[in-house]
């Protein structure tokens, strides 16, 4: 892709990253001579009309926006099967990278960035556009500290007629409760997501963590976040109230607009300051008996406490006898049942944790116990092994007691995405979205994978691994450099040395110093490090020391030649070799029988050689 020209205008320079739908490249607008960001839909989705429609929706959404805190979109196009967007290039980093490096951020900085993001959302909402995926990854921070909202890839114009599906769109750690329930997102959903971003900036962590995406979504719906001030006591109380109001479970209790949230960050409103935290239990429906039932129950109790004389008069002796017999039978039955219960044999519960399920059941039933089984995933024990029992081992209980066994289903294995060939940031995001943890990467040499891309992963892609397990990524440093012998640079100029080093893949380094020399002219190399003949990896820089003169004294040498008198012309060439290297101060064509006399200058010790038609005819040392 690098070097490709899209639309006969946008040259692809390097890859910046990528998301679920598209790869992001740094490019150059060859018409306007400016850097741009080019987002190219992944090839596997180019044939999917739904993805193409969502991809183009981003262009339509952002094209209608013009705000200093929103990344501008310049162009949209298609090159063969590649659909692409051309956007403003932001020289900086994502807010997520800033949080990872510096969190918790100072309250003053959080207020500054939060207000800018709120202003960007307000502008989008005024144009009937809901972002629906506000998160630190989609907020870029320029080198001057300005926040810019980007990636409206799943934005939805609220006035459109797009059908809402049961697919929850958005990053689960920043999703609003209403989105988690599958309800359509609105402006208040963006406000909630911004509240989560503010929470993360102030504490360095997202408010809800769970084993999987569904668990996190449920916590957004059911649980209250931990107090910011418990995590970071430096957070002002008023600022905490603003953030928690933005994150309220009920949309109607949140700020009425993104602008109101931005204003609240600067100066808290009385409404926010006096708002009582939402207690979900107060909203639970309680079923109470109706007033008529309560009255009837009261009358029944009153009737039970008042003896009816008429009825007493109607009771006959036979009836009294039957009643007495019934009471005796009931008492006897109760005593029998109590005796049966109290006199049930007891036994000690054997330890079965670590046994196979079949073996544990057999042992317990042999001791007279009944058994019930529950199963759950477990990362440590293989499938079918008992991981918990209740009652515990060695407890003495009645044999009628049911023993609960929890049996391992083994690790919750899921397929590991194959991220080889992708950038580290894109790979980390892909793996974390699947519930894996990513360890700090290591760098390795690779002859097949270009530098700064994932060369290897453990476990390998498309294999099964326990959900939540750790993935190790190895980043390519490019091909392993070859070891070369350092050439002799003494006596060469810097340009000549650079050319000589380039032949073996080495580079000219720094000029360490200049020293007086009577053997070499000014500007010539008199020493080097590493030295000539030493071994060094390709790419190694060789540092040098230069002569600052005066160098060796000049000498003039007289050269006399007689051209053969054979009726033919001949080329006469004089070669000198001294501290400067080899030179040819004299090259001419002469008539037969000519006598040539030349004065040749050398510096220091050297040689003079004479050639006629390329054949040596004389040599002298000087």
pLDDT for 411:
83
pLDDT tens across 218-257, in order? 999 999 999 999 999 989 999 999 999 999 999 999 999 9
Q: Are 368 and 403 in contact (CB under 8 A)?
A: no
Q: Is omega for the bond preceding 391 within 30 degrees of 0, making it cis?
A: yes
Q: Is 344 exposed, middle or buried (0-12, 13-18, 19+ CB in 10 A)?
A: middle
| Average predicted confidence (pLDDT) for the chain | 84
- In the chain, what's the furthest Cα-to-Cα distance? 172
* DSSP secondary structure letter of residue 163: P
Would you give the end-to-end CA distance of the chain in angstroms? 60
For 554, phi and psi rounded to 5 degrees? -80, 145
Query: What mean pLDDT comes out for the span 136-155?
Result: 84
Q: How many other CB atoms are found less than 10 A from the CB of residue 592?
A: 12
pLDDT for 33:
86
pLDDT for 299:
44
Query: What mean pLDDT comes out for the span 478-494?
Result: 91
Bigger pLDDT: 339 vs 214: 214
Bigger pLDDT: 157 vs 524: 524
Residue 541: left (phi > 0), alpha (psi -120 to 50), or beta?
beta
pLDDT for 433:
75
Q: Are 147 and 136 in contact (CB under 8 A)?
A: no
pLDDT tens across 612-621, in order? 999 999 999 8
Residue 509 has pLDDT above 80, yes or no: yes
Minimum mean pLDDT range among 109-123, 250-264, 328-342, 499-513:
328-342
pLDDT tens across 22-74, in order? 789 999 999 988 899 998 887 777 777 776 776 677 677 677 788 999 998 88
pLDDT tens across 426-446, in order? 899 888 877 789 999 999 999
How large a percentage of the chain has pLDDT more than 70? 85
Tokens of 5: 């020209």
pLDDT-derived band of residue 286, with 50, 70 and 90 as boundaries? Answer: very low
Calpha distance 516→545 (Å, rounded): 10
Bridge partners, residue 354, by sequence: none
pLDDT for 275:
72
Choose from 8-22, 78-92, 438-452 the range with maximum mean pLDDT.
438-452
* DSSP secondary structure letter of residue 41: E
pLDDT for 500:
94
pLDDT for 306:
42
Residue 14 has pLDDT above 60, yes or no: yes
pLDDT-derived band of residue 312, with 50, 70 and 90 as boundaries? Answer: very low
Q: Taking the C-alpha atoms of 566, 568, 569 and 574 in order, what is their torsion angle to the nearest 10 degrees?
A: -40
Bigger pLDDT: 116 vs 277: 116
pLDDT-derived band of residue 329, with 50, 70 and 90 as boundaries? Answer: low
pLDDT-derived band of residue 507, with 50, 70 and 90 as boundaries? Answer: very high
Query: What mean pLDDT comes out for the span 510-539?
Result: 93
pLDDT tens across 102-141, in order? 999 999 899 999 999 999 999 999 988 888 889 999 999 9
Query: What mean pLDDT comes out for the span 201-207?
Result: 95
pLDDT for 160:
33
Query: Among this protein's residues, is 282 annotated catalytic?
Result: no
pLDDT for 533:
94
pLDDT for 336:
54
Query: What mean pLDDT comes out for the span 175-193?
Result: 92
Residue 278 has pLDDT above 90, yes or no: no
Q: Is 336 exposed, middle or buried (0-12, 13-18, 19+ CB in 10 A)?
A: exposed
Residue 297 has pLDDT above 80, yes or no: no
Q: Are 1 and 39 in contact (CB under 8 A)?
A: no
Residue 174 has pLDDT above 90, yes or no: yes
pLDDT for 165:
36
Bigger pLDDT: 95 vs 327: 95
Tokens of 324: 């007495």
pLDDT for 547:
94
pLDDT for 122:
95
What would the DSSP string read from start to end of 213-279? HHHHHHHHHH-PPPPHHHH-TTS-HHHHHHHHHHT-SSGGGS-SSHHHHHHHHHS--HHHHTPPPP-
Pick the catalytic residue from 133, 151, 190, 248.
Answer: 133
């Amino acid at each position: 892709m690098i070097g490709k020209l899209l639309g006969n205008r946008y040259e692809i320079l390097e890859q910046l990253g990528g998301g679920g739908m598209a790869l992001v490249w740094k490019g150059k607008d060859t018409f306007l001579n400016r850097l741009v960001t080019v987002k190219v839909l992944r090839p596997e989705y180019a044939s999917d009309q739904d993805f193409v429609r969502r991809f183009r929706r981003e262009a339509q959404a952002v094209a209608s926006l013009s705000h200093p805190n929103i990344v501008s979109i310049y162009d949209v196009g298609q090159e063969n099967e590649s659909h692409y967007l051309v956007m403003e290039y932001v020289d900086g980093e994502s807010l997520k990278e800033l949080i990872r490096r510096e969190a918790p951020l100072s309250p003053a900085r959080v207020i500054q960035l939060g207000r800018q993001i709120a202003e960007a959302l307000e502008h989008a909402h005024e144009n009937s556009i809901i972002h629906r995926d506000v998160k630190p990854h989609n907020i870029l921070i320029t080198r001057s500290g300005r926040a810019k909202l980007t990636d409206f890839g799943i934005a939805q114009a609220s006035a459109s007629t797009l059908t809402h599906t049961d697919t929850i769109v958005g990053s689960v750690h920043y999703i609003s409760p209403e989105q988690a329930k599958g309800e359509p997102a609105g402006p208040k959903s963006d406000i909630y997501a911004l509240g989560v971003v503010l929470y993360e900036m102030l504490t360095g962590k997202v408010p809800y963590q769970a084993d999987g995406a569904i668990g996190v979504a449920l916590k957004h719906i059911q649980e209250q976040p931990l107090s910011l001030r418990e995590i970071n006591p430096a957070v002002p109380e008023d600022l905490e109230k603003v953030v928690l109001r933005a994150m309220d479970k009920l949309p109607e209790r949140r700020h009425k607009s993104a602008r109101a949230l931005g204003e609240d960050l600067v100066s808290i409103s009385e409404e926010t300051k006096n708002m009582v935290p939402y207690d979900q239990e107060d909203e639970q429906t309680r079923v109470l008996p109706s007033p008529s039932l309560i009255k009837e129950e009261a009358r029944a109790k009153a009737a039970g406490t008042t003896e009816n004389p008429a009825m007493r008069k109607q009771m006959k002796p036979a009836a009294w006898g039957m009643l007495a017999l019934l009471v005796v039978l009931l008492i006897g039955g109760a005593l029998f049942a109590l005796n049966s219960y109290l006199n049930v044999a007891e036994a000690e519960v054997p330890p079965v944790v670590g046994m196979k399920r079949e073996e544990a059941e057999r042992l317990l039933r042999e001791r007279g116990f009944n058994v019930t089984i529950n199963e759950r995933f477990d990362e440590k024990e293989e499938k079918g092994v008992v991981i918990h029992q209740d009652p515990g081992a060695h407890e003495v209980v009645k044999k009628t007691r049911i023993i609960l066994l929890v049996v391992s289903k083994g690790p919750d294995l899921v397929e590991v995405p194959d991220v080889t060939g992708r950038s580290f940031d894109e790979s980390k995001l892909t793996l974390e979205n699947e519930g894996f943890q990513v360890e700090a990467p290591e760098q390795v040499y690779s002859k097949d994978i270009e530098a700064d891309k994932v060369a290897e992963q453990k476990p390998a892609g498309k294999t099964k691994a326990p959900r939540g397990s750790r993935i190790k990524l190895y980043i390519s440093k490019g091909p392993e450099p070859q070891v070369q012998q350092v050439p002799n640079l003494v006596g060469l100029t810097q340009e000549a040395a650079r050319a000589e080093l380039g032949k073996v893949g080495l580079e000219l380094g720094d000029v360490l110093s200049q020293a007086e020399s009577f053997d070499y002219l000014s500007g010539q190399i008199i020493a080097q490090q590493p030295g000539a003949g030493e071994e060094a990896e390709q790419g190694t820089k060789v540092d040098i020391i230069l002569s600052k003169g005066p160098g060796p004294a000049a000498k003039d040498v007289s050269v006399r030649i007689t051209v053969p008198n054979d009726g033919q012309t001949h080329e006469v060439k004089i070669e000198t070799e001294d501290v400067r290297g080899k030179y040819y101060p004299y090259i001419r064509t002469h008539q037969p029988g000519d006598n040539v006399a030349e004065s040749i200058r050398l510096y220091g010790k050297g040689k003079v050689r004479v050639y006629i038609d390329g054949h040596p005819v004389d040599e002298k040392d000087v």
